[in-house]
A and B are shown apart, each in its own frame.
Chain A
Amino acid sequence: MRVPILKQGGYLIASIQSALSDYELLQLRDDLSAQVGRFRSRGVIVDVTVLDVMDSFAVRTLRAIAQIGHMRGAETVIVGIQPEVAFAMVQLGLALGDVETALDLEEGLALLDLRTKRGESHVTES
Chain B
Amino acid sequence: MSLKAEIHIPINSDADIVTARQQGRELAQQAGFNGSDLTVISTAISEVARNIVEHARSGEIVLSVANGPGRSGLVVVARDHGPGILDISLAMQDGYSTGKGLGLGLPGTRRLMDEFEITSKPGAGTTVTMKKWRR
Contacts and interface: CB of A to CB of B under 8 A. Distances in A.
A32 B42 CA distance: 27
Nearest to A87: B36
A84 B25 CA distance: 13
B69 to A, nearest CB: 28
Contacts of A59: 102
B22 A91 contact: no
Please classify the interface of chain B as helix (H, G, I), strand (E, B), loop, or mixed, using the class held by over half of its residues: helix
A109 interface: no
Given A21-B18, A92-B112, A93-B111, A56 B47 contact: yes
Nearest to B111: A91
A57 B43 contact: no
* Chain A, interface residues (CB within 8 Å), range: 20 to 34
A63 to B, nearest CB: 9
B104 interface: yes
B17 A21 contact: yes
A58 to B, nearest CB: 9
A8 to B, nearest CB: 29
Contacts of B15: 21, 23
A30 B20 CA distance: 26
Interface of B: 14-15, 17-18, 21-22, 25, 35-36, 38-40, 42-43, 46-47, 50, 94, 101-102, 104-105, 107-109, 111-112
Interface of A: 19-23, 52-57, 59-60, 82-85, 87-89, 91-94
7 smallest A-B Cβ distances: which pairs?
A: A92-B108, A22-B14, A84-B39, A84-B36, A55-B46, A88-B43, A93-B104
